[in-house]
Structure 1
Amino acid sequence: MMQNTFSKGVLPTIAFAFVTLFALVRLAEAVEIQRVTSPQGIEAWLVEDHTVPIIAVNFSFDGGSSQDPAGKEGLTRLLAATLDEGAGDLSSEEFQAKLEELAISIGFSTGKDRFYGSLRTLTSTLPEAGDLLALAVNTPRFDEAPIERMKTRLETRARRSETDPNAIAGRSLAAAMFGDHTYARPTLGTAVTIGALTADDLNAQHGRLLAKQGLTIGVVGAIDAKTLEPLLDKVFAGLPESGDLKAVAELTPTAGDEIAEELAVPQTTILVALPGLKRDDPDYQAAYVMNHILGGGSFTSWMYQEVREKRGLSYGANTSLSPYRHTGLLIGSAATKAERAGETVSVMLDQFRRMADEGPTDDELRRAKQFITGSYALRFDSSGKIARQLVALQNAELGIDYFDRRNSEIDAVTLEDVRRVAKRLLAEQAPTVVTVGPKQG
């Protein structure tokens, strides 16, 4: 799922290097997660690490761009861009000056289903960082000048996306597979919808999304539970108990369409997609291993070998699982010379059929599981990545012990599991195929 983060402030690079090294060591020893609850009932998951004086806080709220009202697409993205552009008594310039002066980073972003925030600070500036984050979360100003500045930035990006082949392909795929569901609406919005947004719209969306119900928080760094508790209350206890979220319907994507978008660019962009799995599906880990072999494993995957190495059709070809809260997709992608687009699509579809009909070998399964478990530490090479993982675990309801269980769950995937889920995902219907590039024939 794609997100846009508006992060301000810079922390010392050398400190992050130390955090990177330590995080990898700690993972090997098993990360110890504490469940911390503040006096006013705000819960966070904490990984304490006093090796360097840095604290990373990540958090998320229920409801993302899927909560944009019809005709106001891009509203939640604009909210992410403006929350720290002035808050409380501080104008945008004053707020940003304090972040820079104190080497504090505050950022916000959005996905389809959740709204995200982050804080990075040194322990010496934690009180000031907590104050600034509390202002941004609770009392953003939404002054006219910064709103217009951020709207202009997003409008420019939206206009560029109108001629970007990857963006065009993504929109076409979403329209074909999601229909009139809210997931089909562009998270970025359009130049027209962004241009019409107002401070009143932002205030209303802030009230709908930022609430204690559905709030998840992950904290990593040089802070103990006793110090964290008042910070949690300072930032989050003043929020309303619940927001005002509209229900989002469950969705079974529609597959089988063939869509060709004409665009005068050097190459043709290709997307091949089928309905996938949500993260809580019992088959998800088996599907994750299957996808690694099919196209997620970079140089070793079937897609890469067949499309690039054997035929030289593309610099790369891959597949990925895209789980949303209310649906999921399995997407293959590549880019190739226009005159070889049909051949490339055919080879990609052949790999889908091959996986559904034959499945991988025992050796391919063994090597895939070995790589997936061995590379897991790369997700924990900074305090910020660990904090994001803590939030992701809570959002997916995977349990506080998931770090300890995850590799054993991958190891437990059998050849029969992979073949079963391959048939489930790849054998039932034809994929949706989207091509964006020069006119053919």
Structure 2
Amino acid sequence: MRKAINSAMRRYRLITILGLLLLLLQPVIVAAAPLAERQVLENGLTLLVRSSRALPIVTIKVMVQSGSLWEQEGRAGLANLTALLLTRGTATRTAAQIDESVDFIGASLSSSAGRDLSELDLTVLKKDLPKGLELLADALLHPAFEQGEITRKVQEIRAALRKRQEEPGEVAQEVFDDLVFGSHPYGRPLEGREATLTAITRDEIVGFYRDHYTPERTFVTVVGDVDRSEITGQIRALLGSWPKSKATVKRATEPTPLQGKIVVKKVERSVTQANIILGHQGIRRDNPDFYALTVMNYILGGGGFSSRLVERIREQKGWAYDVSSQFSPGLERGSFQVVLQTKNETAGPAIQEVVRELQRIREQGVTDQELADAKAYLTGSFPLRLDTNAKLAGLISSVEYYKLGLDYADRYRTLIDGISKEDILRVARTYLRPDGYVLVVVADQAKAALSE
């Protein structure tokens, strides 16, 4: 008993010391609000600038409301394909010429898509900023969508999708999303499926770009060695004439949640480790309970070795090397899921323990010590989310997109510290559903021997 108490005290002291050390850094890293200076240009484009002169480097993140949430059913992968093709040739540059120009100045230029957003990212030395901006603006405003590049990119994605089917964890995630979200865009692979990719035409790509890549749907975040007035003039010169769209676009409506039932899907694979995902729909990012759920989830399964799921399933039972839980909120309700890998033979008992831990936190809440540890870590580690230009640009862009307020960094500590044990119990009972979830098990089913 004394040994356990001493171990707990050492762990708490370590967390506290880490939190204090990080807090000492916070005034240096997290300046007074706002996170960035914000302005909206005449054409509706939102520009956010954070000057940081520590290194002669500039990071620019362009985020556009053009993720898979805006795809039509039957065209899964359209948003991702459109985004990836931005840097694969423009009206005046081939893909090879873009790559050569980027390499020549030692910069990086990439594009990608997500559920809610697509983005174009540039990192460049200060001295080469004009050239970097020129390349970024060309990719954003004048993509060629040349048929040969479309064909090549589709082939690459289809090959990646086939390769993914060899990964049990990826298979489990795809099945889980499909069961939790159904026909909603969150329920299908971001990259699409082989059948939908084959069906997408160049005209559809051009149309998706025309309707969704518009200035009033775009946020440009600049972080690094820049002068605000100078960079504003450069952005205005390159993007200020970008015309607003006249099209009306709609995103998918909220997914229909499961209503108090358990859905089990077993997928047969000849593997030694069962890959398990258990969960259900979660919350939107604008849900006011987001911060209480952040603290609750840290204690449940998001806090690494200090979480209940790890303590129970890994440390006490020895059934899994890694087990974790997370909420993945978006513009619409994302998912809550517990993910673990365990031997086929211990899949059933491990699943039972996960459900027990969900029930326990709903019934008993958390202790004062657990709450204090979670708050110390979450507030103490926050500055680490701001220690590079890329992280800053990502945070600023997300804060703007989800309308969190540019004083978010200053308010974060208060938001977390204000969470009580009563809040944890309330959100656990509201948002965790141990009696209505989706369970996906990719395993050697004969050895797993799960009961129905």
TM-score (norm: length of structure 2): 0.88
Distance 1:298 1:116 in 2: 30
Q: Which amino acid aligns with 1:356?
A: R
Stretch moving more, 355-364 or 23-32: 23-32
Distance 1:224 1:38, change over 3 A: farther
Which residue number corresponds to residue 253 of structure 2?
A: 249
Report if the CA contact (8 A) 2:362-2:428 is conserved: yes
Please tell me whether residue 34 in structure 1 is matched to residue 37 in structure 2. yes
Stretch moving more, 32-41 or 341-350: 32-41
Report if the CA contact (8 A) 1:73-1:188 is conserved: yes
Distance 1:303 1:385, change over 3 A: same
Among 52, 58, 68, which residue is 2:61 paired with?
58
Distance 1:210 1:54 in 2: 27
Report if the CA contact (8 A) 2:320-2:341 is conserved: yes
Which residue number corresponds to residue 151 of structure 1?
A: 154
Aligned length: 419
SS where residue 87 of structure 2 aligns?
coil
Which residue number corresponds to residue 332 of structure 1?
A: 338
Which residue number corresponds to residue 15 of structure 2?
A: none
Report if the CA contact (8 A) 1:298-1:318 is conserved: yes
User: Any gaps of 5 or more consecutive residues in structure 1?
Assistant: 1-22
Q: Which amino acid aligns with 2:297?
A: N
| 1:408 positional shift | 1.3
Distance 1:37 1:208, change over 3 A: closer
SS where residue 83 of structure 1 aligns?
helix
Report if the CA contact (8 A) 1:84-1:95 is conserved: yes
Distance 1:288 1:80, change over 3 A: same
Q: What percentage of residue pairs aligned between the two structures are identical?
A: 28
Report if the CA contact (8 A) 1:137-1:235 is conserved: no
Which residue number corresponds to residue 297 of structure 1?
A: 303
Stretch moving more, 417-426 or 181-190: 181-190
Distance 1:312 1:110 in 2: 38
Report if the CA contact (8 A) 1:33-1:45 is conserved: yes
User: Any gaps of 5 or more consecutive residues in structure 2?
Assistant: 1-24
| 1:244 positional shift | 4.5
Report if the CA contact (8 A) 2:181-2:257 is conserved: yes
Task: Please list the CA deviations of residues 241-281 of structure 1 after superposition, one character each: whole Å capped at 9, or x if unmatched.
Answer: 23542331123422621111111222111111033221111
Distance 1:97 1:126, change over 3 A: same
| 1:299 positional shift | 0.6
SS where residue 187 of structure 1 aligns?
coil
Report if the CA contact (8 A) 1:256-1:429 is conserved: yes
| 1:71 positional shift | 2.7
Distance 1:208 1:265 in 2: 45
Distance 2:293 2:107 in 1: 40
Among 398, 416, 433, which residue is 2:439 paired with?
433
Stretch moving more, 125-134 or 224-233: 224-233
Q: Give the alignment's Cα RMSD to 1 decimal.
A: 1.9
Among 163, 170, 174, which residue is 1:171 paired with?
174
TM-score (norm: length of structure 1): 0.90
Report if the CA contact (8 A) 2:52-2:224 is conserved: yes
| 1:30 positional shift | 4.1
Report if the CA contact (8 A) 1:133-1:235 is conserved: no
Which residue number corresponds to residue 190 of structure 1?
A: 193
| 1:90 positional shift | 1.0
| 1:206 positional shift | 1.1
Which residue number corresponds to residue 424 of structure 1?
A: 430
Structure number, greater radius of gyration: 2
Report if the CA contact (8 A) 1:252-1:275 is conserved: no
